Chain A
Amino acid sequence: MADVVLQNVSKSFGRDDAVIDMTMSIDNGSFVVLLGPTGAGKTTTLRLISGLEKMDTGSISIDGRVVDNETPAQRDVAMVFQQYSLYPHLSVRDNLAFPLRSPILNTPKADIEKKVNEVADILQITAKLDNRATELSGGEMQRVSIGRALVRDPAIYLMDEPLSSLDARLRADLRIELKRIHSDLGSTLLYVTHDQIEAMTMATKVGVLQEGRLVQFGTPREIYENPNSVYVASRLGLPRINILPGDLFPGTADAAHSIGLRPENIEYGQGIEAAVKRVEHLGDQTRLHMDLNGHNIIALSPAGNPYAAGSTIKIQPVNPLCFDESGYRIAGRHA
């Protein structure tokens, strides 16, 4: 377990900048989730920390030690890949034991046995230990590959969208499992995903990436309640935040070029008329798709679902987020 610090790290592949001037510190024992769409530089960041890629400029230190010139083996990190992570020619047991048998750890046989059984127990794969890796289901494979990281006690666990290839139920189960492992072991985790639910539920800190830059870093609540740009605001929240022109509603702060309305920022009954185009019943919530002077708005229907498609409602914003012309957050509240 250790602090991991990135100092002005940049990396480009040919003409493409994958990571630009990233400075981030991952505190000992924290669960940091990097959130961003495909191509935002999430995976590259993990690979730079693990040493699979060499950065162009900047510096990375793990536990106070600069690791820029160390091999992946020397850095003492564990990584869970998105896929293809199990050695197909080995049994589950040998897959789990593989890191422990490395020349660096060179663990005694009895300890390997103990550790493997322990991890198999946590991940509920004990019955499959003697199967070949290729004989597992997708969920079991991913559990084993998480297990292969857990048998070690590395400075940091790096996880590259480990749950993205699994079905929804398994994903929910493993999410809870990972969170439990984190709180039980007190380990440091850096977790990459494009799934906001994973970010919100597991993270102690969320880093939002945009085209290779770390644009905001904070607790999930901070990121949700206090996003510093339109981009960050759109990353979190279901349904998505509605971005509307600043002058749509009277009384918004003068400088606001646009305002962001999350479902909870919308009040019904007063204000401007909006036409309900479609009502979506999702079971636990009902969404209203509305047209407000030519702008699409998605909001949550109030309890009782009083509105039907074709009806009109008056709505007004409550404490919207205000943004300037380039999409940055500015102070300013609706009157």
Chain B
Amino acid sequence: MSYSVTEPSSRQKWIAGTLVITYALITMVPLLWIMMTSFKTPPDSISYPPKVMYQPSLEGYVNLFTTRTRVSPERLAALPPPENFAEEIVRNRNMVIAGPSKFGGRFLNSVIIGFGSTFLSVFLGTLAAYAFSRFKIPLADDLLFFILSTRMMPPIAVAIPIFLMYRKLGLTDTHLGMILLYTAVNISLAVWLLKGFIDEIPREYEEAALIDGYTRFQAFYKVVLPQAATGIASTAIFCLIFAWNEYAFAVLLTSGTAQTAPPFIPTIIGVGGLDWPAIAAGATLFLLPVMIFTVMLRKHLLRGITFGAVRK
């Protein structure tokens, strides 16, 4: 086997492309399955053998956002004609819409807690990383090691103490509590990632700004921050993905007001069995924000991952 630094041949490209596409397809099957299920009717979703071709339906989404009650066929017939497609779908199952479900609120909780903790982690992480990178801090290495060491065990290992502490402090089932918790978990990642990025920015830029008449903070804000944008964006994505997907602490610490979507979605129970299309619809909608966020920042993310390798 010989190695070459020249352009790969078209055959090599073809093989590599096939491999990558095959791998991508395999990893996308579960996602595709969830999205397909979300557009099935409940009977279709549990039919065996599984249906690949089917009549798409929005029943899963309607069920996700509503609560419904069963009514007798006589009363159903006496009702005025359905006002919209949702009611029509529900009435076909001999039910009427009783009101909105909790999904909207839970989703909003996820947004508040996910983005809130991401913002806080990145904000604090940037300031801390800047300080570690630029100033002489006594015991800096030990402090950095301590920050890293908070990630040396799985966060869930401290679930019981945190549960007890949160109960005492009244942070259980609050937005603030969850934001603080996810920030605490993410901050070590943020500090370490961002320190690497800021270390790469030559000090001369800030020194030039200091001499040009700016204060240290202004130099940080006007010169360092724009150049750390790549690092900040990729750090933000990593933080968001963790906070958004976190399940165990959310189950343990939230039940109502601050419950996030991950513990809520599996509890969507239909009438007479699990309502798979509704669960799949919840999961599909839940995927979207991180997907959009990642696509928006994808240029930064790619550059962020290869940052150390290509600069200098």
| Residues of A near any B CB (own CB < 8 A) | 50-52, 71-73, 77-79, 81, 83-85, 87-89, 98-99, 102-105, 148, 152
Q: Which of A51, A84, A104 contacts B205 (CB 8 A)?
A: A84
B209 CB within 8 Å of chain A: yes
Main secondary structure of the interface of B (DSSP, over half): helix
B211 touches A89 (CB 8 A): no
Contacts of A77 in B (CB 8 A): 211
Contacts of A78 in B (CB 8 A): 211-212
Q: Which of B214, B223, B226, B227 contacts A73 (CB 8 A)?
A: B214
A81 touches B215 (CB 8 A): no
Contacts of A85 in B (CB 8 A): 204, 208
Q: Measured between alpha carbons, how far is A52 from B206 in the docked complex, in Å?
A: 10
- Jot down 10 A-B pairs with beta carbons below 8 A, ordered by A: A51-B211, A71-B215, A73-B210, A77-B211, A78-B211, A78-B212, A83-B204, A84-B204, A148-B208, A152-B212
Q: Measured between alpha carbons, how far is A286 from B209 in the docked complex, in Å?
A: 48
18 A-B pairs besides A77-B211, A85-B204, A103-B215 with CB distance below 8 A are A52-B207, A52-B210, A52-B211, A71-B210, A72-B210, A73-B212, A73-B215, A79-B211, A84-B202, A84-B204, A84-B205, A87-B205, A89-B226, A98-B212, A99-B212, A102-B214, A103-B213, A105-B213
A272 CB to nearest chain B CB (Å): 53
Contacts of A72 in B (CB 8 A): 207, 210-211
Q: Which of B208, B215, B218, B227 contacts A79 (CB 8 A)?
A: B208
Q: Which 6 A-B pairs have the closest CB atoms?
A: A102-B213, A104-B213, A99-B212, A84-B204, A84-B202, A89-B226
> Among the interface residues A73, A84, A85, A88, which one has the most CB atoms of the partner chain B within 10 A?
A73
A56 CB to nearest chain B CB (Å): 15
B210 touches A81 (CB 8 A): no
Q: Measured between alpha carbons, how far is A78 from B211 in the docked complex, in Å?
A: 6
Q: B190-221, CB under 8 A of A: which get 1 and which 0? A: 00000000000010110111111111001000
A81 touches B227 (CB 8 A): no
| Residues of B near any A CB (own CB < 8 A) | 202, 204-205, 207-215, 218, 223, 226-227
Q: Which of A52, A89, A148 contacts B212 (CB 8 A)?
A: A148
Contacts of B207 in A (CB 8 A): 52, 72, 79, 81
Contacts of A73 in B (CB 8 A): 210-215
Contacts of B213 in A (CB 8 A): 73, 99, 102-105
Known pairs A83-B204, A87-B223; A50 contacts B211 (CB<8 A): yes
Contacts of A51 in B (CB 8 A): 210-211
B148 CB to nearest chain A CB (Å): 27
Contacts of B227 in A (CB 8 A): 88-89
Contacts of A50 in B (CB 8 A): 211
Q: Measured between alpha carbons, how far is A83 from B312 in the docked complex, in Å?
A: 13
Contacts of B211 in A (CB 8 A): 50-52, 72-73, 77-79
Contacts of B226 in A (CB 8 A): 89
B213's closest neighbor in chain A, by CB? A102
A151's closest neighbor in chain B, by CB? B212
Q: Measured between alpha carbons, how far is A326 from B137 in the docked complex, in Å?
A: 43
A76's closest neighbor in chain B, by CB? B213
Q: Which of B208, B218, B223 contacts A81 (CB 8 A)?
A: B208
B229's closest neighbor in chain A, by CB? A89
Q: Measured between alpha carbons, how far is A148 from B215 in the docked complex, in Å?
A: 18
Contacts of B209 in A (CB 8 A): 87, 98
B205's closest neighbor in chain A, by CB? A87
Q: Measured between alpha carbons, how far is A78 from B207 in the docked complex, in Å?
A: 11
Q: Measured between alpha carbons, how far is A79 from B213 in the docked complex, in Å?
A: 11
A144 CB to nearest chain B CB (Å): 12
Q: Measured between alpha carbons, how far is A85 from B203 in the docked complex, in Å?
A: 10
Contacts of B210 in A (CB 8 A): 51-52, 71-73
Contacts of B212 in A (CB 8 A): 73, 78, 98-99, 102, 148, 152
A12 CB to nearest chain B CB (Å): 15
